[in-house]
Amino acid sequence: MLLKARHRCLRLLCLTAFCCGLAALSGCHLLNLYPTPPEKTDVAKKDTARSAAPPEAVGLPCKYQNRVSQYVFVSDFEIKADLPLFKELSDMRDLVHKTLQLPSSNNVVQVYLFEDADRYERFMKSKYPDLPKRRAFFIAQPRIGGEELLVYTYWGNGDRIQQDLRHELTHALLHSVLKDVPLWLDEGIAEYFEIAPSKNTINAEHVKQLRQSPNGQPKFDLARLEDLKEVEQMNPAEYREAWAWVHLMLHTNPEARKVLIAYLKDLRSTKSPGSLRTRLATIFPTPETALERHLTMIDQYRRPALAEK
């Protein structure tokens, strides 16, 4: 998700040279960073990680390359090209473009797969020492004529590799065709598509947290989300709400879907298309009330399914 990654942005200065066929990068650059959403354990480790001694530098993977659609997976260990995961990620690209009615893009997304968490974390700490600890990152690196689209993660993270790659690659797909995406929307769309189609687009854990918050029913506020500019401002609650707004627009009625698609279309030509909430209010007089009703319906739908298990 963005830290979006994947996602939306953390702004970093100075990226040292990359290897393995990438053009060397020098000087100072502004980066847009989109990590997988923060987990509670990440917050606790953040301060201690910054006080630790600088880790030994680890280079980027470069021995093996596997081209899948517009993604190039790079690793230091051999990965079977016919794994179902790669077919799924290729299908996801088509699904994102079809669902959001985005134009196709041939912009290459470089996906660096480290063999394990240790090598990945050592690389990230040596190259991006100010970043918090996350399982994966998407980075939009400015360059002449556009952006260089980079994803970093590690292979040995169990079942999370599917979710993390879907999330970060969604960020990359959006950035490959849009001038910019508001932070909350970037993360909301990435959260939406990180769920495999077999789960019917419903993030059961998000619904549970949104409906059964320990502090009572959360107060939704799309205007507040629209005001968020830095990824550090987004906590897990903001990621959940962002997902819910995207799900509302894509699954309530055709008019709401058209609002989202028209907004994304405007983002192809401008970075400032105005407030999405204002547009949504033409469909739902009180969008926040509509979201509460939508989540209630989802919860009622999923509860019988849970009872059958």
pLDDT at 147: 84
pLDDT at 216: 61
Q: Which alpha helices (H) appear in the chain, and where do they start and end?
A: 40-51, 84-100, 117-127, 160-175, 183-193, 204-211, 222-227, 236-251, 254-267, 276-280, 287-308
CA distance 107 to 115: 25
Model confidence pLDDT, tens digit, residues 242-293: 999 999 999 999 999 999 999 999 999 998 999 999 999 999 999 999 999 9
Q: Does 266 or 201 have the greater pLDDT score?
A: 266
pLDDT at 50: 43
CA distance 126 to 118: 12
pLDDT at 114: 96
pTM of the entire structure? Answer: 0.82
pLDDT at 245: 98
Q: Work out the average pLDDT over 14-40.
A: 44
Q: Work out the average pLDDT over 149-169.
A: 91
pLDDT at 161: 93
CA distance 216 to 304: 23
- Closest C-alpha among 104, 105, 108 to residue 73: 108
Per-chain mean pLDDT for the chain:
82
| Three-state DSSP state, 190 | helix
Positions of CATH 3.40.30.160 in the chain: 32-180
Query: Residue 192 pLDDT > 90, yes or no?
Result: yes
Identify the CATH number of the domain defined by range 32-180: 3.40.30.160
